[in-house]
Amino acid sequence: MTRSGTLFVVGLGPGARAAMTGQALEALRRSRVIVGYGGYFGGIADLVDGKECLALPLGEERERARLAVERALNGDDVCAISSGDAGIYGMASLVLETLEAAGHNLDLEVAVVPGVSAVNACAALLGAPLGHDFAVVSLSDLLTPWKWIEGRLAAAAEADFVLALLNPRSPRRDWQFRRAQEILLRSRSPETPVGIVRQAYRPGQSVEITTLGRMSAATVDMFTTAIVGNSQTRRFGDKLVTPRGYPASGGRQPTESSTTQGADVPRSPDIVEESFHIIDREVGAHAFTDEEWPVVRRMIHACGDVDLVRLACFRHDAVVAGVQALRQGTPLVTDVRMVASGLNKTILENLHVTVHCFIDDPQVEQQARKEGRTRSACAMEKAIATVKRAVYVVGNAPTALIALCDAVHRGEVQPPLVVAAPVGFVAVEESKEQAFALDVPLIGVRGRKGGSGIAAATVNALLLMAMEEAAR
């Protein structure tokens, strides 16, 4: 009977050779077969010279695990490699699951070798942001339903954990990071310190310190980790510091009312009200009506940018028209899922308001591909044909807003309210100018600024007003 080999599951660290552990180097030296993603081999080419290297593409993680187990059971000493730490979003769990599914019951010697994770590496470059309790959340919804991710973000934010956000954005997932920002802003100040690290300990490394209200999705990708501070995190020069404990006096205190061992975190409304006071103070005198200002204030709260005082605009008694429409249960149409996910679900249910978004509709995708047009424009046209009378909310795509304007001009739809807040550089200002010229109630943001968070905040402000009116 062939003697089984040893299967090492190794974390290579963030990238730099100096950040690899001695155990990882020894495991590579002892192994005859190395299994991993092809991109990992470039940095360890001299360490695996003369060994059998089996490189598989991204997305083939289970096949890598199966192959590593198979070779080790056949007598080879095998190293399955991961970046960072193999036990944190790495190959270790897949290898053990593969063994478990095959019924081997650990009759193969498996050694999980620790590595320096992205969280450790990025925290070190930022100083000491993880000095107190922290949570790590991956924003990739490829393996985890997004509603679970949202729940974890909200719970961790409310509990005042420092938060490390991994896999924030990719070409196929371009909205989750902004949505996470919106969720965190519900219970954290826009001035909460945030560290953004890209390519830690690799060529092209960059380190940025910003705030929760100002952090931008444009600067993040799959090579980026964002660390969001808690209520006590502060900036110290070019470093972030989270104290080891909460202060003995002042700040947030542990109490019996919250948990026997945890921190007593202020309720979200307390933070929101404090933020509103700050916005009122910084803006000072303004020209908005008593009905318009709560909407503008929520817009500013969603993005941390008081410049919206200059850019926000209202047409044809938009607030009154919007509140009335929502009180009547008028449906909402959004251009992208991110706007829909940012809406207050409780009030929507209480007012019997349904939300429609056709961006992921298979027929829309097929039409867009066939006609060489954007999905956003095709999705808006389907919404107009399907839902007809609705409050139309555009927080991302100018082509969706243009499609809506064209339909209004053709007499196909007469919205009780349009929220016009697409964001970007191409056709954004043109689409808004077309919308501002419509003879319909409208709330918009001039210029290039806008976004799903601002659009959702606008609707949430109206929903709150509608709910308050309904309760009178």
Supply the residues annotated as catalytic: 301
Helices (H), 189-259: none
DSSP string computed for 277-322: HHHHHHH-S----TTTHHHHHHHHHHHT-TTHHHHEEEESSHHHHH
User: Which strands sit side by side in the sheet containing 193-198, from one edge to the other?
Assistant: 134-138, 162-166, 224-228, 193-198, 206-211
Sheet holding 312-315, edge to edge: 312-315, 442-445, 417-420, 391-394, 332-334, 355-356
Q: How far is CA 407 from the centre of its chain?
A: 33
Asked whether the beta carbons of 31 and 99 are under 8 A apart, the reply is no
CA angle 229, 232, 234 (to 5 degrees): 70
> What are the Cα distances from residue 451, in Å, to 179, 217, 321?
11, 11, 22
